[in-house]
Amino acid sequence: MAKNKIQFQQGLSLTEFLSKYGDEDKCYQSLLRFRWPNGFVCPKCGSKGHCEIQTRNVFQCHYCRTQTSLLSRTIFASTKLPLTVWFLAIYLITQSKDGISSLNLGRTLGVSANTALRIKHKIQQTMKEQDDSRPLRNLILIDDAYWGGKKQDGVRGRGATGKIPFLASVSLSEEGHPIKMRLSRVTGFLKDEISAWGKKHLSPFSLVVSDGLNCFPGVKEAKCNHEAVITHTENGYDVDKVFKWVNVMIGNVKNALHGTYHHVSTRHLPRYLAEFCYRFNRRFDLHKIVDRLACVSMRTPPMPQRLLKLAEVRW
């Protein structure tokens, strides 16, 4: 039986990673190339003329005299950690299929658990913003899902207490294979909520297939076509396998969250869901995923601790 080329592809080995990003200068030069691929450009006036003040490690524009550091206005802004630590964190998070806990990440990086958690959340935020900027298109399956919930009261299903609702969506190819997925936390499965979600995450004129829940026709407000498919279920399973891939995605993510993390707080759940989506959506070329994430990190605005603590109520 032939092996799945995507599943068994050769990723970026630790040896290759260390050869490419093994010291501070290599990391610095890579970020310099990612931020200014055609040479320095002043963020204030757009001039290219500059000099480098090496004692302060900043670039000064010849025209407006503005001084800019390489990491300013990026997700790495104000960091006191070596760039090698950041790159190793990016490598560990992107190459681990089921994720890596902040405690394990801190032990591997040689930093405290709190520092590792901040690093992880900032990298997750970069993943989330990058994926959110690319709407799903063509044929899309959507379904409602829930995370967590108290089991002591005996209530199960949608009415269980403490459950966090999130929307699972998967775009399919013409052959019916999954291309991209999006997991978005929502305040509830209401028509207005789904409508607003669709305007942000769906490309117009896409075909959205759902199980007929009353809120899902809200995607029509996003100029998408909607088709409700009522499937036959047996012991809670989709016998017709219409929603096979979206159910597989939900199951895999839930198993990974349960197996890797002891606890995922409500406010940070969207970032953890985005982490799995980012890896899945770029699974076709694992060898370049570190470069791609480091590159978009240089275009992601700073995320200080006070913003990381804000609750993300919606997607």
Q: Identify residue 113 by its one-letter amino acid code.
A: A
Reported as a single tens digit per residue, the pLDDT across 55-71 is: 888 999 998 998 999 99
Residue 118's pLDDT is 94
Burial (0-12, 13-18, 19+ Cβ within 10 Å), 79:
middle
Query: Check: CATH 3.30.420.10 for 139-286?
Result: yes
Encode the chain in three state secondary structure: CCCCCCCCCCCCCHHHHHHHHCCHHHHHHHHHHHHCCCCCCCCCCCCCCEEEECCCCEEEECCCCCEECCCCCCCCCCCCCCHHHHHHHHHHHHHCCCCCCHHHHHHHHCCCHHHHHHHHHHHHHHHHHHHHCCCECCEEEEEEEEECCCCCCCCCHHHCCCCEEEEEEEEECCCCCEEEEEEEECCCCCHHHHHHHHHHHECCCCEEEECCCCCHHHHHHHCCEEEECCCCEECCEECCCCCHHHHHHHHHHHHHHHHHCCCCCCCCHHHHHHHHHHHHHCHHHHHHHHHHHHHHHCCCCCCCHHHHCCCCCCC
Dig out the tokens for 279 from the structure: 């890896």
Reported as a single tens digit per residue, the pLDDT across 203-222 is: 999 999 998 889 999 999 99
Mean pLDDT to the nearest integer, 154-176: 80
Q: Are 164 and 315 in contact (CB under 8 A)?
A: no
At 180, the pLDDT band (50, 70, 90 cuts) reads very high
Whether residue 1 is predicted with pLDDT greater than 60 in this model: the reply is no
Dig out the tokens for 246 from the structure: 């979206």
Residue 139's pLDDT is 92
* Cα–Cα distance, 101 to 116 (Å, whole number): 9
The angle at the Cα of 38, spanning 33 to 40, to the nearest 5 degrees, equals 80
Reported as a single tens digit per residue, the pLDDT across 19-57 is: 999 899 999 999 999 999 998 989 888 888 889 888 888
Q: Are 68 and 32 in contact (CB under 8 A)?
A: no
Domain spans of the chain, in order of start: 139-286
pTM across the whole model? 0.89
Q: Taking the CB of residue 279, how many other CB atoms lie within 10 A of it?
A: 20
